[in-house]
């Protein structure tokens, strides 16, 4: 997985240096795919197939492909943060996760610009390069930095997000929107953020990052406490001290979700 991410990262770095010359096509409103994205996905797929030819795939660009091993598949986003990439912003990553029988058991998020390789394996912890990671120990919302994703044209419930943002920003030290959910989750695992929430994400955006937060001692659930954030409608990740407080704020901002958040369970 690390080799595949590094190979794709090297290709993307080369294209990033010529971002203005990239051929770009539209997938939908404010949702772009570049030739660099497609080339990186092919490179990741080839490297992973070489190592494990029987595994299936769930990939952002080419979709789902079942392997001979029906229990195991790779979940891949070859370029998380495409819009940043295409605007010359150096904040994007390659994300690869391994799903076995519906559970994420390994994950890699590689940020090539800074050469930061986040990786985790179930039961073995989460690491940045060779350094073991733990989530932040901050206990107060007013000391905390929280990340999110903001809906854009044609995507998401804008009034709902504004209610959530209003509720959270009144209680925390700051909110950040950097444009890569994979890196947002890796940063929660590294203690750079205390929490992260977003709605409308896809499995390839978050599969690797979910495991990282859990292995670093944090909690990841749906906002209402549901235990299926990978395939659910929304996601909340935070350290153990702040997860419930953030969940209550976000639930109160959404009248449709009134359930008390269920106790989160860490797998670390």
Residue 32 has pLDDT above 50, yes or no: yes
| pTM exceeding 0.75 | yes
21-35, 54-68, 109-123, 156-170: least confidently modelled range: 21-35
Shared domain check, 107 and 170:
no
Domain annotation covers residue 63: yes
Mark whether 111 and 162 lie in a shared domain. Answer: no
CB 221 within 8 A of CB 211: no
- From 132, 158, 174, give the residue that closes a domain: 132
Does residue 121 sit in the same domain as residue 199? Answer: no
- Burial class from Cβ neighbours inside 10 Å (0-12, 13-18, 19+) for residue 267 reads middle
- Name the H helices within the chain: 2-16, 35-51, 82-86, 158-169, 181-189, 203-215, 243-253
Confidence of residue 155 (pLDDT cuts 50, 70, 90): confident
- pLDDT score of 119: 98
| Alpha carbons 199 and 257: distance in angstroms, whole number | 13
Cβ atoms within 10 Å, residue 166: 11
Which pLDDT band holds residue 35 (cuts at 50, 70, 90)? confident
Q: Is residue 265 part of a domain?
A: no
Highest mean pLDDT among 39-48, 146-155, 246-255: 39-48
The torsion angles phi and psi of 8, rounded to 5 degrees, stand at -65, -40
Average pLDDT over residues 209-236: 95
Q: Are 29 and 94 in the same domain?
A: yes
pLDDT of residue 255: 65
Same-domain status, 86 and 23: yes
- What CATH number does residue 171 fall under? 3.40.190.80
259 pLDDT more than 50 = no
97: Cβ–Cβ under 8 A, 6 or more apart, which residues? Answer: 74, 75, 76, 104, 106, 107, 108, 207, 208, 211
Asked if pLDDT for residue 184 goes beyond 70, the answer is: yes
Which domain covers residue 112, as residue numbers? 2-132
Average pLDDT for 216-230: 94
Stronger pLDDT, 147 or 18, i.e. the higher one:
147
Is the domain of 224 the same as that of 171? yes
- Total structural domains within the chain: 2
């Amino acid at each position: 997985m690390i080799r595949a991410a590094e190979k794709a990262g090297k290709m993307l770095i080369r294209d990033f240096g010529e971002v203005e010359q990239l051929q770009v096509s539209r997938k939908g409103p404010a949702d772009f795919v570049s030739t660099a994205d497609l080339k990186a996905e092919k490179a990741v797929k080839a490297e992973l197939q070489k190592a494990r030819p029987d595994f299936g795939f769930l990939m952002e660009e080419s979709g789902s492909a079942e392997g001979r091993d029906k229990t195991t598949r790779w979940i891949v986003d070859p370029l998380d943060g495409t819009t940043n990439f295409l605007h010359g912003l150096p904040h994007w990553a390659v994300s690869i996760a391994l799903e076995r029988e519906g559970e994420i058991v390994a994950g890699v998020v590689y940020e090539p610009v800074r050469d930061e390789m986040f990786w985790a394996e179930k039961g073995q912890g989460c690491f940045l390069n060779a350094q073991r990671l733990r989530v932040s120990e901050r206990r107060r919302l007013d000391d905390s930095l929280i990340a999110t994703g903001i809906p854009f044209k044609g995507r998401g419930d804008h009034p709902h997000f504004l209610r959530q943002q209003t509720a959270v920003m009144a209680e925390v030290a700051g909110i950040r929107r950097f444009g890569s959910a994979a890196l947002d989750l890796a940063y929660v695992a590294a203690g750079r953020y205390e929490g992260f929430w977003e709605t409308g994400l896809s499995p390839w955006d978050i599969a690797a990052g979910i495991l990282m937060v859990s292995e670093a001692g944090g909690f990841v659930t749906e906002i209402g406490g549901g235990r299926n954030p990978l395939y659910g409608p929304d996601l909340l990740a935070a350290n153990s001290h702040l997860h419930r407080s953030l969940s209550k704020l976000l639930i109160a901002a959404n009248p449709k979700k009134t359930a008390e958040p269920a106790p989160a369970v860490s797998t670390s």
